[in-house]
Amino acid sequence: MADCVFCKIIAGEIPSNKIYEDETVYAFYDIQPEAPVHFLVVPKQHISGPSAVHEDNCAVVGHIYAVISHLAQELGLSNGYRVVTNCGNDGGQTVPHLHFHVLGGRSLAWPPG
Ligand code: 5GP
Ligand code: ZN
């Protein structure tokens, strides 16, 4: 998708600190970390956000959770972590390409503001 920052990262047109990649997903560290460990997992297919997930493209979401579980273990998040997906303006989504924040390495407040 032209002009999508995460599509450009996946294509290697914008550099990123990559953690993991396979046929359908890409994981990289967030440029503005909100926790000692903060990375993003995204589908390689451009899906604009949670509201664009449907029966025909939802398999990747399950795979992303399996990747998150694997990476969290690899990165030492044995004490827990948070997975966040923001949706739309009220949800605080700033990049319109579906992504899962994984935050860990400290105790996280709940509920969010
Ligand atoms: P959102 O606000 O949409 O839930 O999250 C977007 C996230 O993408 C933010 O945490 C922001 O720091 C991160 N981000 C935006 N642009 C870039 C970039 O060019 N590189 C990386 N690594 N992260 C980015
Ligand atoms: Zn995209």
Give the residue from 16, 17, 25, 11 showing the smallest Cα distance to 69.
25
| 16 CA from centroid of ligand 1 (Å) | 11
Per-residue confidence (pLDDT) for residue 112, from 0 to 100: 85
Quote the CA–CA distance of 75 and 15 in Å, as a whole number: 21
Output the six-digit token pair for 103.
């935050």
Distance 110 CA to ligand 2 centre (A): 29
**pLDDT tens digit sequence for 67-77:** 999 999 999 99
Q: Which residues are known catalytic residues?
A: 99
Give the pLDDT score at 83.
98
| pLDDT higher than threshold 80 for residue 113 | no
Ion ligand 2 neighbours (CB, 5 A) are 1, 4, 6-7, 46, 97
pLDDT band at 2 (very low <50, low <70, confident <90, very high): confident
Mean pLDDT of 17-38: 98
